[in-house]
Amino acid sequence: MKTWRNLKDLIRRFAGSDVFFSFKRSPTVVAAFLLTLIFLVAAVFAPWIVPHNTYDVASLNLMDARLPPAWIEGGRATYLLGTDEQGRDVFSTIILGSRVSLLVGFASVILALTLGVALGLIAGYVGGVTDTVIMRVADVKLSFPAILIVLLIDGVARGVMPRDLHDKAAVYVIVLAIGFSAWIQYARTVRGLTLVEKNKEYVQAARVIGLHPILIMFRHVLPNVTGPVLVIATLGLGIAVLTESTLSFLGVGVPPTEPSLGTLIRIGNNFLFSGEWWMAIFPGIFLVLLVLSVNLLGDWLRDALNPKLR
């Protein structure tokens, strides 16, 4: 009962807030929000809403391969956006593919965020040698392009794991690799903010009354850094989805039997010149829409949370 009241209170406060006001004011942002929501819902419920289950290889018919979209001559109504090289329904592969892409995106962002925020908090709050070590490691990582780090991590994983295990685990390896290459931004930001918060009176006070440093860090410092972290996370989601697609292009992405949007584009790429454009262009459009709306949300969030810009 109490939580319910708290929630209602929270919603009321949010609805009356400046953030919500600026949200309502921009139709682009509302559109981006709705689009992201649709993507999320479609991804979560993908197995129940796709017209064809393209993961079930027995149901595929090679004879239906490379059919154009339904509205073009030769297309069939059951395959709205056409079929690919193996007779998979493009629309279904896109929905299932964005599920994979979003899974990779969210999981790697959560990983990077957890790692980055924790290390940033510790570096900023504890200081000293701990700080130097963490920030030096961050420097090295920052200086190394993410795509190379991901290639290296994936290479090692392929080496140490038996082959069939790697195929099963490919998605997680990529999540690990992308997440591991992206934590620095969080760490740097959080560290900077922590340094500022640390010297504020309320933290000093908490310290005086003898609260445990971990408690202080998470209960008092953390809430004050959520805004910027949220912004980085939103933009990071788009980057993670793109990085995964680039890896697929280089041939180290998720296995083609359960393709992501990036893998779909890579495969479709081969058919771009031959006039079978739908295999690359539709996944391409969906990828752009997805990343675009996430980026728009991130942009808006950054401006909205920055009081100086209002």
Nearer to other proteins, 50 or 261 (CB): 261
In which residue are the tokens 């056409």 written?
82
Q: Based on CB atoms, which residue is closest to other proteins, 198 or 220?
A: 198
**H-type alpha helices, 144-272:** 146-160, 163-198, 201-208, 213-215, 226-249, 261-269
Site for other proteins in 132-191 (CB under 8 A): 132, 136, 139-140, 142-148, 152, 155-156, 158-160, 163-164, 167
Burial bucket for residue 229 (CB in 10 Å: 0-12, 13-18, 19+) = buried
Q: Which is nearer to other proteins, 91 or 286 (CB)?
A: 286
Query: Total binding residues for other proteins by CB under 8 A?
Result: 69
Identify the helix (H) or strand (E) that includes residue 304: helix 278-305
In sequence order, what are the beta bridge partners of 83?
89
Residues 235-264 that bind other proteins (CB under 8 A): 238, 242, 245-246, 249-251, 256-257, 262
CA 20 to chain centre: 23
Residue type, 194: T
* Out of 106, 110, 118, 131, the residue judged to bind other proteins by CB under 8 A: 131
Gap between the Cα atoms of 296 and 283, Å rounded? 20
Q: Which residues bind other proteins (CB under 8 A)?
A: 28, 57-63, 65-66, 85-86, 127-128, 131-132, 136, 139-140, 142-148, 152, 155-156, 158-160, 163-164, 167, 195, 238, 242, 245-246, 249-251, 256-257, 262, 265-266, 269-276, 280, 284, 287-288, 290-292, 295-296, 299, 302, 308-309
